[in-house]
Chains A and B, each alone.
Chain A
């Protein structure tokens, strides 16, 4: 079976930009193909992660972005799974290369979230929740995650201050990431005193609205070597859907995330202790705590210690470093592009291209991308250095 690798990455600026989605994609693609043959000479298929047509009144992103890349008559499609769309696109590319169907597949993501203001984004994101009961009750993405946070604070020793510390840590990481939407350090008081959005979550517990596009080229190891590109192995991939309604799930044991991660670990023939860095879906601070427990980094009830140095965490924690990019919280969260941005961070970390934010000795990364609230859909990938083979 051919071994899929990531051979190149690129991204647009993140945040409030003056470019529409297709142009953000062009910027990301230009970076990804710098020094490579043109996409038309390499790419055999395209998958595009994209959350919503309500931002630009545009679907058909497979067709559109393939065309803007100079590709014609290739299979190309948009993949939808709210904020997990990017990792779902990556997963499709990985499977195409693994099963021998293609040698080079473009996995990308794009979202133009700032086109209709905060209320437009709030409305578009609410479509990820059950229409019959949840949407008609007026839920929002922050309120859905606040229900998890309230429950987590009730069941564990975690406090709102602990959640704030996660935001502080991720902003500190982002301050060393030139791609970050918010490359500024903040303090705990800034988080705790920020406006309530959905208590116990406050503004600085929430990832920002922002524009962005990202692209990764997935190829066989042989092709990446022929292209003389640094390569990162995609050693495992798992995905799992859980109920759409948050009320009908375990709200602190994020089972779908555990299953997606365990599937990816199993394919990679590792366990959680082997993971050096993880880009998890910290759309809200509480997510990093919940996911650290779900994927096996932290014993139940201690995930909120993710902001601490490894030696200061509870017994049973691994030495993993979470969200070295700054995470969704501070690197940015352009919904459909987020899963691809997670892969980009792991690629840079594992190929020695992460500059000031490099995690020393990192050889194995877990990516965990979620859509809807929590594990409504989760995608996990394990990436390793070529040397870790």
Chain B
């Protein structure tokens, strides 16, 4: 294995979130089987290959499944109920995230676009030290 990872490498979480803070969603793309990995990581879960390229991913996608959280963890109480979805992105990867819409206004197949914001004060309180500057992504209906 030739990996020499440091915190600037997008196959680590700091590297991934640094790029996301600048508005770029990076995915790993397996050069052997084309599986998209969100976030990027050193190895492909689909085939085991470690030949993983890092490429910007389309921010548009469609709702694959969704729900709403009525019984939130303590740090998210003020936001409840909030909508969560698994989104299939146009480049093939799937990513879970909040949706900026009421549950009743969302359906499977809806088009959404990934946006990025900083943590709220409440989110900051439950963040680990190293997570405080990592942004959160939110899917906006299109």
- Contact residues of A with B, CB < 8 Å? 118-119, 122-123, 126, 132-140, 142-143, 146-151, 154, 195-201, 243, 245-248, 251
Contacts and interface: CB of A to CB of B under 8 A. Distances in A.
Nearest to B95: A247
Interface stretch (B3-11, B49-57, B72-80): B72-80
B65 A151 contact: yes
A12 to B, nearest CB: 26
B82 A138 contact: yes
B131 interface: yes
Interface in B81-115: 81-82, 84-87, 94-98, 103, 108
B68 to A, nearest CB: 6
B70 A147 contact: no
Nearest to B63: A150
Contacts of B77: 119
Given A133-B39, A147-B66, A243-B45, A251 B86 contact: yes
Given A134-B96, A147-B96, A149-B67, 19 more contacts: A118-B71, A119-B74, A133-B38, A133-B96, A135-B73, A136-B123, A136-B127, A136-B136, A137-B96, A137-B136, A140-B69, A143-B84, A151-B65, A154-B65, A248-B37, A248-B45, A248-B94, A251-B64, A251-B86
Given A133-B96, A248-B45, A143 B86 contact: no
B108 A198 contact: no
Contacts of B72: 122, 138, 140
B19 interface: no
Interface of B: 13, 16, 37-39, 45, 64-77, 79, 81-82, 84-87, 94-98, 103, 108, 123, 127, 131, 134, 136
Nearest to B87: A247
**8 nearest CB pairs, A to B:** A146-B67, A138-B76, A247-B94, A151-B65, A247-B96, A247-B86, A147-B65, A198-B67
Interface-centre pick from B39, B72, B77, B85 (highest chain A CB count, 10 A) = B72
B103 A132 contact: no
Nearest to A251: B65
A208 B86 CA distance: 26
Contacts of A126: 73
Contacts of A132: 13, 16, 39
B96 A139 contact: yes
Contacts, number: 106
9 contacts: A122-B73, A133-B96, A139-B84, A143-B68, A143-B84, A147-B65, A198-B68, A199-B67, A247-B95
A373 to B, nearest CB: 10
B84 A137 contact: yes
Given A146-B67, A199-B68, A140 B73 contact: yes
Contacts of A136: 123, 127, 131, 134, 136
Contacts of A137: 84, 96-98, 136
B73 A123 contact: yes
A138 B69 contact: yes
A147 B67 contact: yes
Nearest to A245: B96
Nearest to A133: B96
Given A132-B13, A247-B95, A119 B65 contact: no
Contacts of A199: 67-68, 103
Nearest to A198: B67
Nearest to A119: B74
A149 B71 CA distance: 17
Nearest to A116: B74
Contacts of A200: 67
B120 to A, nearest CB: 11
Contacts of A197: 70-71
Nearest to A149: B67
Contacts of A138: 69, 72-73, 75-76, 79, 82, 84, 98
Nearest to A125: B73
Given A138-B79, A245-B96, A150 B71 contact: no
